[in-house]
Amino acid sequence: MNNTFKIIVLAGAFVSFILGAGTATGQEILQFFVSHGYYGIGAIVIAAVLHMWFGAYAMDIGLRLKADDSKAVFIYFCGKYLGTFFYWFSQLFILVVFVVMISGAGATVSEYFGTGIITGRAIMAILVLTTALLRLETIIKILGIAGPIIVIFAVIVGAGSFDPAGFSQANEIVKELDLSSATKYWWQSGFVYSSFVLLVALPFLANLGKDEVRRKNVIIGGGLGGLIMLIGVFAIYIGILSNIEKLHTKDIPTLFLADQISSALAFFFSIILLIAIYTTAVGMLWTVSIQFSKDNTLKYRIITITLTVLGFFGGLFPFAKIIDLVYPIVGYIGLILMVGMLYRQFINKGKIGNQAYDMLNITKKTGK
């Protein structure tokens, strides 16, 4: 595999992870960027720059640290105590994302197929639980291709729905509408959006960089991934903003846009969206269950069933409300992690290698 192809693979994996089912529904983009009108473009630029930075930096640290346990990465950036906190907090947030996926499945099925929201959530919860219990790794890997596909379709739907006339009037319309906004100021959205993504993505990115051998590849791959993210989010943003008066009350804005283009496209997009939600939900459930079960099969099953039940009832809350309530709070907390990374990169680089592992071993021995 030549270096150019490796860079493309790294960038593609990064984009597939961050621009998946949650962002592709359009709800995050609506609350973080569209709610600020034209200023949302500035917020997207801030988010893209931050994604390019932490994508490249996290992969680079993963390459140099070669961490088998993602806790070592958090400890390297934030020290023993704060790093351990962020490690467990990220596990909790991953579980919250699982709840969001269950809720999003109900919203998608209800909005397009016209059934009750509980139906979609119940079906998704059962499918996810069955897959997680059977540990069908091959199926998950095959269905993982939904990530890049949904990115492509989201961009097609967003750009294809762009209405110049609607866009020219959108800023005034946004001011009149009572839109839920993740942050008070547009520039805050760029930082908060990036920091909540960072909390979930850091272990993934570090692991992605761990298997690479050339620093140049991970740095360019991370930067390219952030740039592609900018293009994808911007395409969805202009599609939603130019049609904001029609869809501001929709839970799945991109599904509405797809239906405006073609009913066939909307049907296909709804299926792709559900598959993406399914693969994301299984991954999130699996990650948390394995972390707490420590390879104990009986404990794994009990935890998986318990978390699925909690996810189902948590998913009964409105999809848009969960994002509006949880994501900004997590984003503000994640800013501390981002500051820790900046401190490590530019002020106190510390030592790559045994330092993080020494602290990790001490943590394990003391049981803290």
Note the pLDDT tens digit of each residue in 175-211.
999 888 889 999 999 999 999 889 888 888 888 888 7
Burial class (CB in 10 A: 0-12, 13-18, 19+), 69: middle
pLDDT at 174: 93
> How do the residues of the chain divide into helix, strand and coil, expressed in percent and rounded to 5?
85, 0, 15
**Gap between the Cα atoms of 25 and 152, Å rounded:** 13
Distance between CA atoms of residues 155 and 173, nearest Å: 23
Contact 41, 237 (CB under 8 A): yes
| Calpha distance 121→38 (Å, rounded) | 35
Look at residue 72 in the predicted model and tell me its pLDDT.
86
What is the tens place of the pLDDT at every residue in 287-307?
A: 788 777 776 788 889 999 999
Q: What is the pLDDT of residues 133-185, one digit of tens each?
A: 886 655 555 555 666 777 788 788 988 999 999 999 999 999 999 888 889 99
316 in helix, strand or coil?
A: coil
Over residues 219-228, the pLDDT tens digits come to 999 899 888 8
pLDDT at 354 over 70: no
Rounded mean pLDDT, 298-325: 83
The pLDDT assigned to 21 comes to 61
- 334 pLDDT band (50/70/90 cuts)? very high
pLDDT, position 250: 84
Q: How far is Cα 302 from Cα 283, in angstroms, rounded to an integer? A: 17
* Domain parsing of the chain, residue ranges: 10-99+134-265+325-359
Q: Which residues contact 331 (CB under 8 A, 6 or more apart)?
A: 182, 191, 192, 193, 194, 195, 196
In Å, what is the CA distance from 315 to each residue of 145, 238, 295?
A: 25, 29, 27
The region of weakest confidence among 47-51, 141-145, 212-216, 282-286 is: 141-145
| pTM of the shown model | 0.83
Is the pLDDT higher at 50 or at 288?
50
DSSP assignments along 243-305, one per residue: THHHHTT-SSHHHHHHHHH-HHHHHHHHHHHHHHHHHHHHHHHHHHHHHHHTT-HHHHHHHHH
For the chain, the straight-line distance linking the first and the last C-alpha, in angstroms and rounded, comes to 42
Tell whether the model's pLDDT for residue 365 goes beyond 60.
no
Q: Which parts of the chain are beta strand (E)?
A: none
User: Tokens 């961490």 map to which residue?
Assistant: 67
